[in-house]
Structure 1
Amino acid sequence: MYSYSEFDEAFVRARVAQFSQQVERRIDGSLTEDEFRPLRLMNGLYLQLHAYMLRVAIPYGTLNPRQMRQLAHIAQTWDKGYGHFTTRQNIQFNWPKLPDVPAILTALADVGMHAIQTSGNCVRNVTSDHFAGAAADEVEDPRPYAELLRQWSTDHPEFQFLPRKFKIAVTGAEHDRAVIKAHDIGLRVLKNEQGETGFEVIVGGGLGRTPMIGMTVREFLPVNDLLPYVEAVLSVYNTLGRRDNKYKARIKITLHETGKEEITRLIEARFAELRPLFGGADQNLLAEIKAAFAPPAFRNAPVDAYDAFYKADPVFRAWADTNLAQHRNDQYAIVTISLKKHGETPGDATADQMRLMADLAEQYGHSELRISHEQNVILPHVHKGDLPAIHAALVKAGLGTANVGLISDIIACPGMDYCALATARSIPVAQEIAMRFEELKLEHDIGPLKIKISGCINACGHHHVGHIGILGLDRAGVENYQITLGGDGSETAVVGERAGPGFAYDEIVPAIERIVRAYLEQREGPQETFLQAYRRLGLGPFKEALYPAEGTKDAA
């Protein structure tokens, strides 16, 4: 994995020193809150509902054990003993005190981490497939390209004050685990008919109050053209993007208002101007970066012990069936550690749990960890012979829940428990849904089902692309939860369809149960997933289950 260069080190240290002085000036009153706000946001520091929140960048979700242990140290020393992993593959600390923030940033810099560009109208943390470099269906590891984009975009003078925040995601696999079609720019690594590597370029995706699936503006972009083309997209957006209305400032609105054909023409014209200016320096840098992402030295050893353990232990077998994914090396597996224990806050990990995951990565996982946009932690390279030991350690630490991809593996934003923008609670809803289906002992019978919950229209919980999406809103001072069905964030991405009127807080869990029972009654056998059944049946049967007395309620 990539390690900081001398330039990275000097840059981050300078930013920490600069912000430390700004914090001192805010504390002594030299800066007002209005003056301090843009300065703190440039360094990932938000003022939330109850306290400051620091959002730390984890580029393309990749961590080493030393970095994970430092996050645990920060959580225990300057926060309340835990951190929250987000849908942007970042981590948030929800309770730092302002005088402590410089010390936190210094501790991050000590392990090659920072909080730069985790906020503001700039290019945010570049995200990627959390199975990158390990997945069996991968064309090529996308992380070197994500790192190239990170270096290019960091403190880019032209793109620090865009019309709105800008998000880029990269995947290198056939199956999209990075939700690239819901990003401002989505990049898919692929091979053309000549066997050359390049990218499908998708522009104009995004969720929020106006959810849109991105459009392909280039079917195949050669690797050599990546930076000039992405710069061309951003340059056109920076020129055309609206600054008069923040709700219409994202590139998805620019594309919609300008039209795909005209936007593509403008991008291509700007690309033609920029391409000669790069001169190959970016490709030299890319070659250096790729060398840092060489695969680990995989161990060649028998897997007979794993096979025997799998057959003999039903608890281990249930975990293996849900939490393991196929690795490109048949002797290895990809382990997803669920941060969704029934009744717990989705995405939270205590300092002790972070240290354990760091230890497991160091002992068994070639010293690599990944954070998924689904708010779980991944050990991407684990020999199958080590899986029983890993499972035992995870169970002991409360991290052995066998539910990845199931109904209790819920994505949820912080909602009104933390966020100043939220209009409803998200975390308690997620907890209650998980506990309800744990009581019913149904989730393994239900099979793959993605529930995503947002506490406001900004959609940080990605509810639009949930198989079942839940959006919490305020209706005259009362929490009201809308349900969308049939959403999908994969390579067949689609925005979910609103089912009808919303539900009160105490009605939302029974409503979800009715949807699930309708699915179980009408599916064509256990092999048909919820999403497959929805696409076959349409909204009708689920709407009937949700609103058995249709017509008696006014639309919310």
Structure 2
Amino acid sequence: MNAISKPGLPAPSYPPHARTYRYDEVDREFLQERIAEFTGQIERRLRGELTEDEFKPLRLMNGLYLQLHAYMYRIAIPYGILNATQLRQLAMIARRWDRGFGHFTTRQNIQFNWTKLEDVPDIARALADVDMHAIQTSGNCIRNTTTDEYAGASPDEVVDPRIYAEIIRQWSTLHPEFTWLPRKFKIAISGAPHDRVALQVHDIAVQAKQNAAGEIGFEIWAGGGLGRTPILATRLRDWVPEEEFLAYLEAVLRVYNALGQRENIYKARIKILVRDLGEEFRQRVEQEFARLPKQRYRLDPEIVAQIAAHFAPPPFAALPDNPAGFAGMLAGNAEFAAWAGRSVRAHRQPGYASVTISLKPIGGIPGDASAEQMEAVAALAERHSFGEIRVSHVQNLVLPHVRQEDLPAVWQGLREAGLATPNIGLISDIIACPGMDYCALATARSIPVAQMISERFADLDRQHDIGECFINISGCINACGHHHVGHIGILGVDKRGAESYQITLGGSATNDAALGELVGPGFAYDQVTDAVETILRTHLAHRRPGERFIDTYRRIGLAPFKEALYAAA
């Protein structure tokens, strides 16, 4: 963001210890200029001076989509980090200009699905008041970089990925060469050995590492993606030194920008280029990397240190693990213990924990939160998590830094807000796109299918008996619900004017990344829940002690599930 700074733009009042990147006057001035520009374009559209075709590329550059029933405004939440002030502002926007809800997405952003075009300038100004915007949340550009929702908190973390996600954000925002790429472009970065960001299905995947000398470097992958041609990423380099990080990303993007198939939207993603060129793609990247003037792209350690300061640990207290109040609640309250068993995660700081907040209540819409719920989470974050909230790529929220002694109070607050469903990682913790209820591209419904499945398996004891199992649902071949990498993937398609749902099994988005196998012919809308029931009964009939669904599937293969599903056919 390179606007000329002008004095007098007020900074938001943030929670004192929230570790989110904070804009300076240059950033804020740029946002005001961008809002004024887009406001003028909206006014011309409302007056009929721009046709919808002329307006479309302008609105997409500003995160505004035209859906089935209304405009949808997608708001950027860089690498999924919010502070309480920002979340309260999103709640206000939901209440004032939407229908009282926001929808958190698999790119760690939030969408408002009932936006009126004439309200967009006011929403944009409200976002800018808290250092937020919707730029580069759509269009053929570098989208929001996603990262681990437990960054800075997880015991297994080697490198804090937030630092480099922010560096990518600053590098990629309004990058003059990458504003009109062949297609949209998605980057994910992890700083822990356990993949919690679905690295293998991204256009560029970055694994931050440390070598034996304590130096930071990056393993770089490219060419992953889902949609109509699902492909897992290809490793380009085992080690890129920190100072050369941006230069190497620049080289990858330049090769793609030059050779991507712009003439065919279905072949325009980098995954097709990487697949078709094979080893030649890596060689071209290395050649481009060698040509780049390294000093121009050098990542200065002083800049890294300045950005890292924004993500310094909050002022943790010296606390013991498993304090008496927490341990007593675990022993004496079965409901609390069930919630803690699914929602509370170990923290790198003794006496603290991370809390995952399920946005998947039984029968609810996956990823939706009401204005009141957002305000409740903001209040809990201020009281118990240094004012910080995270959005996960599986459409839940996280309070990253909670004292263990405060967990009973957090649980009680979440219960009162309807946010204490203890189903994290279970079959009702479903990823689902908006589907045909909202999306103009969808060919089938996703939300009602997710609701029916979660209602069928509403008994939490039954869910715990089934164990870890991830169900992902997409309402069209674009795969916004990531169905290819669900343990059970469900894809809705149009078949001669009726909804038909194809089922895949065995997908995974973690270290053992895999694309699911198609079981056979699709199922009608009213058959999907029964099909899932059959799949899970088959799992229970064949599993060995301690096996998850994915373990059972990999051991016995597709055949027993397919036989059970089509036995009556």
CA distance in structure 2 between the aligned counterparts of 1:193 and 1:381, rounded to whole angstroms? 29
Matched residue SS, 1:442? helix
Counterpart selection for 1:122 from 141, 148, 158? 141
Counterpart selection for 1:296 from 314, 321, 337? 314
CA distance in structure 1 between the aligned counterparts of 2:332 and 2:350, rounded to whole angstroms? 21
CA distance in structure 1 between the aligned counterparts of 2:159 and 2:344, rounded to whole angstroms? 21
Matched, 1:402 2:422: yes
- Give the equivalent residue in structure 2 for 1:522: 542
CA distance in structure 2 between the aligned counterparts of 1:439 and 1:534, rounded to whole angstroms? 23
- Give the equivalent residue in structure 1 for 2:218: 199
Counterpart selection for 1:327 from 325, 347, 372? 347
Counterpart selection for 1:286 from 297, 304, 310? 304
- Asked whether the equivalents of residues 227 and 282 of structure 1 are also in contact (C-alpha less than 8 Å), the reply is no
- Report deviation, 1:209: 0.3
C-alpha offsets along residues 466-519 of structure 1, whole Å, 9 cap, x if unaligned?
000000000001000000000000011011111111000000000000000110
Counterpart selection for 2:510 from 487, 490, 505? 490
C-alpha offsets along residues 159-200 of structure 1, whole Å, 9 cap, x if unaligned?
000000000000111111100110000001112343322111
CA distance in structure 2 between the aligned counterparts of 1:63 and 1:310, rounded to whole angstroms? 30
Matched, 1:133 2:133: no
- Report deviation, 1:326: 1.3
Matched, 1:85 2:81: no
Counterpart selection for 2:387 from 357, 367, 386? 367
Matched, 1:385 2:405: yes
The within-5 A match list for 1:100-499 is 100-259=119-278, 261-278=279-296, 280=298, 282-302=300-320, 303-439=323-459, 441-499=461-519
Cα gap change, 1:281/1:485 in structure 2, threshold over 3 Å: closer, same or farther? closer
Residue identity in the other structure for 2:364: E
CA distance in structure 2 between the aligned counterparts of 1:135 and 1:275, rounded to whole angstroms? 37
| TM-score, normalised by the number of residues in structure 2 | 0.95
- Asked whether the equivalents of residues 451 and 467 of structure 1 are also in contact (C-alpha less than 8 Å), the reply is yes
Matched residue SS, 1:190? strand
C-alpha offsets along residues 279-325 of structure 1, whole Å, 9 cap, x if unaligned?
64654322211111101111223422101111110000000000111
C-alpha offsets along residues 195-242 of structure 1, whole Å, 9 cap, x if unaligned?
322111010000000000001100111111110000000000000100
Residue identity in the other structure for 2:251: A
CA distance in structure 2 between the aligned counterparts of 1:510 and 1:215, rounded to whole angstroms? 37
Counterpart selection for 2:116 from 97, 118, 124? 97
- Report deviation, 1:454: 0.2
Matched, 1:20 2:36: no
- Report deviation, 1:40: 0.4
Q: Structure 2 unaligned runs (5+)?
A: 1-19
Moved more, 353-362 or 327-336: 327-336
Matched residue SS, 2:457? helix
Moved more, 266-275 or 489-498: 266-275
- Asked whether the equivalents of residues 319 and 350 of structure 2 are also in contact (C-alpha less than 8 Å), the reply is no
CA distance in structure 2 between the aligned counterparts of 1:73 and 1:370, rounded to whole angstroms? 19
| TM-score, normalised by the number of residues in structure 1 | 0.97
CA distance in structure 1 between the aligned counterparts of 2:289 and 2:372, rounded to whole angstroms? 49
Dislocated runs of 4+, deviation >4 Å = none
Residue identity in the other structure for 1:270: E
Counterpart selection for 1:35 from 54, 59, 68? 54
Matched residue SS, 1:285? helix
Matched residue SS, 1:4? coil
- Asked whether the equivalents of residues 356 and 397 of structure 2 are also in contact (C-alpha less than 8 Å), the reply is yes
CA distance in structure 2 between the aligned counterparts of 1:121 and 1:512, rounded to whole angstroms? 36
CA distance in structure 2 between the aligned counterparts of 1:440 and 1:292, rounded to whole angstroms? 40
C-alpha offsets along residues 449-473 of structure 1, whole Å, 9 cap, x if unaligned?
0000000000000000000000000
CA distance in structure 2 between the aligned counterparts of 1:275 and 1:375, rounded to whole angstroms? 40
Matched residue SS, 1:105? helix
Residue identity in the other structure for 1:276: K
Residue identity in the other structure for 1:181: Q
Moved more, 23-32 or 405-414: 23-32
Overall identity of the aligned pairs, in %: 59
Matched residue SS, 2:292? helix
CA distance in structure 1 between the aligned counterparts of 2:498 and 2:294, rounded to whole angstroms? 57
Matched residue SS, 2:335? helix
Give the number of aligned pairs: 548
- Report deviation, 1:106: 0.4
CA distance in structure 2 between the aligned counterparts of 1:8 and 1:447, rounded to whole angstroms? 46
Moved more, 203-212 or 10-19: 10-19
CA distance in structure 1 between the aligned counterparts of 2:114 and 2:460, rounded to whole angstroms? 36
CA distance in structure 1 between the aligned counterparts of 2:366 and 2:532, rounded to whole angstroms? 18
Counterpart selection for 2:526 from 491, 506, 519? 506
CA distance in structure 2 between the aligned counterparts of 1:191 and 1:286, rounded to whole angstroms? 15
CA distance in structure 2 between the aligned counterparts of 1:318 and 1:439, rounded to whole angstroms? 13
- Report deviation, 1:541: 1.2
Residue identity in the other structure for 1:425: R
Matched residue SS, 2:390? strand
- Asked whether the equivalents of residues 192 and 220 of structure 1 are also in contact (C-alpha less than 8 Å), the reply is no
Residue identity in the other structure for 1:490: T
Matched residue SS, 1:163? coil
- Asked whether the equivalents of residues 415 and 426 of structure 1 are also in contact (C-alpha less than 8 Å), the reply is yes
